[in-house]
Structure 1
Amino acid sequence: MSHHKRLSLLLALALLLSLPLASAEQNLIRLSNDIAKALRCPAAINQSLYESEAPIAAELKAQIYQMLQQGQSQEQIIDFMVQRYGERIRYQPALTPATALLWIAPVLLVLGCGSLLVLGRRQGEKTA
């Protein structure tokens, strides 16, 4: 076997062996980005960690990646961030009595305004 063929074979083998590592690395990066998109930057107003260019966002993105490398799950990482920064760090806060009230209050307000309009019209019809 010639030197060139042997070198080509070794390079092909090295490439084949590195593909699973590259794929695993890409999966970690993708998952890290997904987590960063689900969390709000503590320093930037209305930006996710993924979007923010604040120094704290860069630190937290690196920490997320490192935690994934250590084998922690997405849920564990998000729970850690919530414990550290509070529920505010989530873009989709957990359903609690306080957050349920935030979702229900606008509905109650619309229903209340609608009821007042209907009652007002009925009163107007009675007086006319």
Structure 2
Amino acid sequence: MKVWFALILCWQLLAPAFANEAVPLADDPVVEQRLITIAEELRCLVCQNESLAGSRAELANDLRREVRSLITAGKSDAEIKEFLVSRYGDFVLYKPPVKPSTWLLWFGPLLLLLGAVWLLIRTIRQTQNNANTEVLDDTKRARAQALLQNTDLPK
């Protein structure tokens, strides 16, 4: 028990030494709000499934700092996004433009759905055709007739 208490005490004393500093906000709240608006439309390149605004990765912090400096330099939202796309490609955008290099991204799920529906229909038709082509021999036919008429089954 004393060992656990000592470990917890050491952890409480040493934990602040390993903590990261908070990311400084811009002096101007308008700049900070614009940064958040732009960062919500951008993808974190490390996390990949998180917006740049919500990510806490080091690269995300650097990108937010870069966007903040571009905002203070007087760049428009479109210019900032264009700068990031030229540097990192369309992947940095949550909604990449529809162009030949992103067709698979936009239309791939639809193609997979159509392929799955086609495969389902084909499988159902084959199953129905196989069920219709099964030939009964005389003993199976007699057994089926006996079951339908509810009489004694032939052996």
What is the TM-score normalised by the length of structure 2? 0.58
User: Which moves more between the two structures, 46-55 or 81-90?
Assistant: 46-55
SS across alignment from 2:53 = coil
Distance 1:48 1:126, change over 3 A: closer
Per-residue deviation, 1:75 = 0.6
Equivalents in 2 of 1:89, 1:119: separation in Å? Answer: 40
Residues 115 and 46 of structure 1: is their aligned pair in 2 closer, same or farther, counting only changes over 3 Å? closer
- SS of structure 2 residue aligned to 1:67: helix
Query: 1:117 and 1:29, CA in 2 relative to 1: closer, same or farther beyond 3 A?
Result: same
Distance in 2 (alpha carbons) for counterparts of 1:77 and 1:43: 19
Name the residue aligned to 2:20: none
The residue aligned with 2:64 is: 61
Q: Does 1:31 align with 2:34?
A: yes
- Normalising by structure 1, report the TM-score: 0.68
- What is the CA-CA distance between 1:43 and the residue it aligns to? 2.9
Distance in 1 separating the partners of 2:93 and 2:99: 13
Query: Structure 1 unaligned runs (5+)?
Result: 1-24
Give a deviation string over 1:73-101, Cα, whole Å, max 9, x none: 00100110111122221121121113222
Q: Partner of 1:73 in structure 2?
A: 76
Residue of structure 1 aligned with 2:126, choices 102, 123, 126? 123
Determine the C-alpha separation between the residues in 1 that align with 2:36 and 2:121.
Answer: 49
* Residue in 1 that maps onto 2:104: 101
Partners of 1:45 and 1:103 lie apart in 2 by: 17
C-alpha change, 1:48 and 1:113, in structure 2 (3 Å) is: closer
Identity %: 35
**For residues 49 and 125 of structure 1, do their structure 2 counterparts lie closer, same or farther at Cα, with a shift above 3 Å needed?**
closer
- CA-atom RMSD in angstroms: 2.0
Distance 2:46 2:128 in 1: 55
Decide which structure has greater helix share.
1
The letter of the residue matching 1:77 is I
Instruction: Tell me, in whole angstroms, the C-alpha distance in 2 between the residues paired with 1:82 and 1:58.
Output: 17
**Which of 108, 111, 115 in structure 2 is aligned with 1:112?**
115
Structure of higher RCO (CA pairs closer than 8 Å, 6+ residues apart): 1
Cα 1:49/1:126, change in 2 over 3 Å: closer
